Chains A and B, each alone.
Chain A
Amino acid sequence: MGSKSKWNISAAKNGNEFLNIEGFEYHKNKINFLFGESGIGKSLISKIIYGAAAEYGLEIKVNGVTYEKYLESDINKKIRKNGFFVFQEPSTHLNPLEKISTQLTEGDLTSLRNETEIFNEISPGVSKTETESILSVYPKTFRPSGGEKQRILLTMALKKIKIYQSGSEDAETLFVFDEPTGSLDNKMRNAFIDYLLITHSYKNFSAIFITHDYSIISYIENRHKNLVQNILYSELYKAKTLEFRKFDPAKYLNWIKERKNISKSKKVGNGDVVLQFDQGVEIFGKRLEFINFDGKKDERGLVIRAGDAVYLKAPSGTGKTTIAKIIMGIYSPEKASFTIAGLKSPKVNKHSFYKNKIWGRKAAMVFQNADESLNLNSKVKNIFDGLPIDKRDSEEFLKKNLSNFFDVTIINDFSEKKISKLSGGQKQRLNIIRTMVLSTPLIILDEPFNGLDFESIDKVIKMIDTLLSMKCGILLISHNEEIVETLVLPSNIYHLNSCSCQ
């Protein structure tokens, strides 16, 4: 059993304290999974502990001492010397003026030359030639892809772990993985987790693994039951103040089991077709095809019926969001044919068709990035302003709908808050409510579980169930396969394939 490392941390900007937590802890020599709504402070706390928060110009205190003093302490010097921080946005960590292969072998990473091997291990399905081609490029915005950049950074961290393990002493260290699997599909994610846990079992090290992906718990329980003693789950949550607590994996495992049982009782819908999207979409020089659950290309394309949820699955970058934006008239494809609630998408005058007949009336969409989708300078009480529904301005309507997602006791104060002041998870919930109150025949949810904690995911799922019972058709796009698959029937899962038009 590793010893606990306890932390009291506060951070302020221009004298205004915005983060204060007492009793944050991680266990030494264990992999500490940390859950919690996005924007609650997981990344910042980890950056502060690691010693990577100096550049933000904040007034930080760590266990009663100033950040400058903390950075000078032996413990932090050792953490930085022996550890590694995998940033959420990998582009910020890669130098555009150096080849990736060079970046994987410089500085502390010089002593081991196993980067190609590690990259291949965590990239199943990627050939050695492809790996060499990825490693030989200078990083640009569009190449390598987001998933590849993430794996490059993970390769660096895993190399550093190997270097740490090759040392004889049991020195202080900390490896932080901040949302390391956000751009990876399940196959790649699992390969990374396998590599991390198995490496950890050779010689233990301390790690904080920040994630919103609760399905990792199921994967570890099923695949690495023998290693669970090396793993701890905890979460950050906001009560009156920011709090830290243990997260019981059984809570999620029982919940998902229950969800799976519910999904078994679901029946194939026979409502009206709310979306009929024909095969043969062509956009940006790519052809996109819908593959049925049995692996066949069905000429009917993608079909959603009233009261049914359909899950569109594909690796990152295939074009799931592109399909959603074509449906919503935001992208104009070279070739596409589809019908929304009986209305065929026109080839001309598309704008007036969508403006007058579709947006907010026959279809609506939740975009994946709540920070961009919401007006951050509005107050919570203005969230429904401008929507094409009756009573949107009434206080009763506001309270009734907010209470589906937020604690009733806080709603009065909460509705006066500026949206920019909310946590990422709270923003995401508002983003979802705004679309859901429309109850349009077709609702598209693009990554609806992004940044949500377990309780919020449960609430969103209940809201989806309510919409389905109201005969709305729902198109779901999500990386969170395990959770989404409990919402849809296997026959309603479509895979999206992409190939070049040439």
Chain B
Amino acid sequence: MIKIISRNKDIFWLFNWITGLLLVYLWCTAYLNTPALKNVVEASVNSFQIALISTGISALLGWGFAILYTSSQSAGKKTLPGILDFFVDLIKSIPQIIGLLIFYIILTVLILNGILKSSFSQLLFMSLGAAFFTFYEFMSLFIERVNYYRKTEFFDAMRSNGIPEIRIVNVDIFLKNSLAHIVHKAISVFGTVLFLQCSIDFIISVGLSTDVSLSNLPLSLGSMLAKLDSKQDILAISNIFTNPAYISDLLTVHLQGISVAFVLIFSLISINKMTSAMLIKKEL
């Protein structure tokens, strides 16, 4: 086990990430008050849940569009790939953060009209929003993989022997030859969604809209960070420059904001390190 972790940098960073989160949790159980601890845990779980569901939806959407795109290409059709290209370019032209903000406005309207009542349905909608602005990353990857194999004899050698194209694409290209690429993309989209969602929560917290308010939405790492006491906790970091002994207070008294910020930043760093290590290891 130790050998595997030390030899594989991506696994090493996954291990670091999980261990880091566990240590923060243990530290918080010892020093953070129960309501705040409950909020930190709920915010973390919600944020990771949104990022995970969003990555799943994004992958499914990307796969579906890519299959449509490549099968029409194979059949020599040009209209459908043209329409898909236009649609995807249109979505790409909207900055992800603006797109997601629009989704949040729709989400608030749906909540205010009582259409989305349960916390899970709200989470699901938030995930859908993030997936809508990240799915083209998967779509491009899937199309790129198919086109790579089309340039070699792989695709033609298989289909001229009667192997169905849908099988060549899904089994032979995606499943057997692109898993590492897909996992790499999934990790990177997971990180993007986590970052996007926290950024949006922060933007909302400064009061861009009266309709879209953090109090309407499920708790997340971003919304936790935007709370006044968390902000005060983070501002308290500056004290250690004048009074280094204050560090012990920082890790016990100001724990809510510090731990939320740590979970967020440490997760993003770990994800970034994991994807970079995977790129090198798998020669992607």
A interface residues, Cβ below 8 angstroms from B = 325, 328-330, 350-352, 355, 359-361, 363-369, 372-375, 377-378, 385-388, 431, 434-435, 438
Known: A360-B162, A372-B152, A386-B167. A365 touches B157 (CB 8 A): yes
If A386-B162, A386-B164 are given as contacts, then 6 extra A-B residue pairs at C-beta distance below 8 Å, sorted by A number, are A329-B160, A330-B156, A372-B152, A373-B153, A385-B171, A387-B162
A359 near B160: Cβ-Cβ < 8 Å: yes
Point out the residues of chain B lying under 8 angstroms from A367, CB to CB. 153, 156-157, 160
B176 within 8 A of A: yes
B161 near A387: Cβ-Cβ < 8 Å: yes
CB distance from B3 to the nearest CB of A (A): 12
A360 near B154: Cβ-Cβ < 8 Å: no
B153 near A361: Cβ-Cβ < 8 Å: no
Our pick among B152, B160, B163, B171 for the contact of A328 (Cβ within 8 Å) is: B160
Q: What separation, in Å, do the CA atoms of A388 and B163 have in the docked complex?
A: 7
A373 near B157: Cβ-Cβ < 8 Å: yes
CB distance from A216 to the nearest CB of B (A): 27
Main secondary structure of the interface of B (DSSP, over half): helix
Point out the residues of chain B lying under 8 angstroms from A369, CB to CB. 152-153
B138-160 to A contact mask, C-beta < 8 Å, 1/0: 00000000000000111011111
Q: What separation, in Å, do the CA atoms of A435 and B157 have in the docked complex?
A: 9
Q: For residue A351, which residue of chain B has the nearest CB?
A: B75
Q: For residue B166, which residue of chain A has the nearest CB?
A: A386
Q: How large is the interface on B (under 10, 10 to 19, 20 to 34, 35 or more residues)?
A: 20 to 34
Known: A360-B163, A375-B177, A377-B177. A386 touches B171 (CB 8 A): yes
Our pick among A325, A352, A368, A438 for the contact of B161 (Cβ within 8 Å) is: A438
Point out the residues of chain B lying under 8 angstroms from A431, CB to CB. 157
Point out the residues of chain A lying under 8 angstroms from B168, CB to CB. 386
Q: For residue A435, which residue of chain B has the nearest CB?
A: B161
Q: What separation, in Å, do the CA atoms of A325 and B152 have in the docked complex?
A: 13
Q: What separation, in Å, do the CA atoms of A31 and B113 have in the docked complex?
A: 89
Selected A-B contacts with CB under 8 Å, 21 pairs: A325-B156, A328-B156, A351-B74, A351-B76, A352-B75, A360-B161, A360-B162, A364-B161, A364-B162, A365-B160, A367-B153, A372-B153, A375-B158, A378-B172, A378-B176, A385-B163, A386-B158, A386-B164, A386-B168, A387-B162, A434-B161
Q: For residue B177, which residue of chain A has the nearest CB?
A: A377
A359 near B159: Cβ-Cβ < 8 Å: yes
Point out the residues of chain B lying under 8 angstroms from A352, CB to CB. 75
CB distance from B157 to the nearest CB of A (A): 4
Q: What separation, in Å, do the CA atoms of A328 and B165 have in the docked complex?
A: 15
Q: What separation, in Å, do the CA atoms of A384 and B176 have in the docked complex?
A: 15
CB distance from A360 to the nearest CB of B (A): 2
Point out the residues of chain A lying under 8 angstroms from B162, CB to CB. 359-361, 364, 386-388, 438
A387 near B163: Cβ-Cβ < 8 Å: yes
Point out the residues of chain B lying under 8 angstroms from A378, CB to CB. 172, 176
Known: A351-B74, A355-B165, A378-B176. A364 touches B153 (CB 8 A): no
Q: What separation, in Å, do the CA atoms of A363 and B162 have in the docked complex?
A: 9
Point out the residues of chain A lying under 8 angstroms from B176, CB to CB. 375, 377-378
Q: For residue A361, which residue of chain B has the nearest CB?
A: B162
Q: For residue A328, which residue of chain B has the nearest CB?
A: B160
Q: What separation, in Å, do the CA atoms of A359 and B157 have in the docked complex?
A: 10
Q: For residue B152, which residue of chain A has the nearest CB?
A: A372
Q: For residue A388, which residue of chain B has the nearest CB?
A: B162
CB distance from A283 to the nearest CB of B (A): 16
B177 near A365: Cβ-Cβ < 8 Å: no
B60-87 to A contact mask, C-beta < 8 Å, 1/0: 0000000000000011100000000000
Point out the residues of chain A lying under 8 angstroms from B74, CB to CB. 351
A351, A359, A374, A387, most chain B CB atoms within 10 A:
A359
CB distance from B180 to the nearest CB of A (A): 10
Q: What separation, in Å, do the CA atoms of A364 and B156 have in the docked complex?
A: 11
Point out the residues of chain A lying under 8 angstroms from B177, CB to CB. 375, 377
CB distance from A254 to the nearest CB of B (A): 35
CB distance from A52 to the nearest CB of B (A): 23
Q: What separation, in Å, do the CA atoms of A104 and B75 have in the docked complex?
A: 49
Point out the residues of chain B lying under 8 angstroms from A360, CB to CB. 160-163
Q: For residue A375, which residue of chain B has the nearest CB?
A: B172
Q: What separation, in Å, do the CA atoms of A366 and B156 have in the docked complex?
A: 10
A350 near B76: Cβ-Cβ < 8 Å: yes
Q: What separation, in Å, do the CA atoms of A287 and B159 have in the docked complex?
A: 27
Point out the residues of chain B lying under 8 angstroms from A372, CB to CB. 152-154, 157
Known: A351-B74, A373-B153. A364 touches B165 (CB 8 A): no
Our pick among B75, B161, B167, B172 for the contact of A359 (Cβ within 8 Å) is: B161
B160, B164, B168, most chain A CB atoms within 10 A:
B160
Our pick among B75, B154, B161, B171 for the contact of A365 (Cβ within 8 Å) is: B161
B160 near A364: Cβ-Cβ < 8 Å: yes
B74, B76, B161, B164, most chain A CB atoms within 10 A:
B161
CB distance from B172 to the nearest CB of A (A): 5
B247-271 to A contact mask, C-beta < 8 Å, 1/0: 0000000000000000000000000
Point out the residues of chain B lying under 8 angstroms from A325, CB to CB. 156
Q: For residue B149, which residue of chain A has the nearest CB?
A: A372
Point out the residues of chain A lying under 8 angstroms from B159, CB to CB. 355, 359
Q: What separation, in Å, do the CA atoms of A355 and B163 have in the docked complex?
A: 9
Q: For residue A330, which residue of chain B has the nearest CB?
A: B156
In B19-69, which residues have CB < 8 Å from any A CB?
none
Question: 10 shortest A-B CB distances, which residue pairs?
Answer: A360-B162, A373-B157, A386-B163, A388-B162, A372-B153, A367-B157, A377-B176, A372-B152, A367-B153, A328-B160
Q: For residue B175, which residue of chain A has the nearest CB?
A: A377
Point out the residues of chain A lying under 8 angstroms from B157, CB to CB. 365-367, 372-374, 431
B154 near A330: Cβ-Cβ < 8 Å: no
CB distance from B53 to the nearest CB of A (A): 29
Q: What separation, in Å, do the CA atoms of A438 and B160 have in the docked complex?
A: 11
Q: What separation, in Å, do the CA atoms of A325 and B159 have in the docked complex?
A: 12
A328, A351, A373, most chain B CB atoms within 10 A:
A373
Q: For residue A376, which residue of chain B has the nearest CB?
A: B177
Point out the residues of chain A lying under 8 angstroms from B156, CB to CB. 325, 328, 330, 367
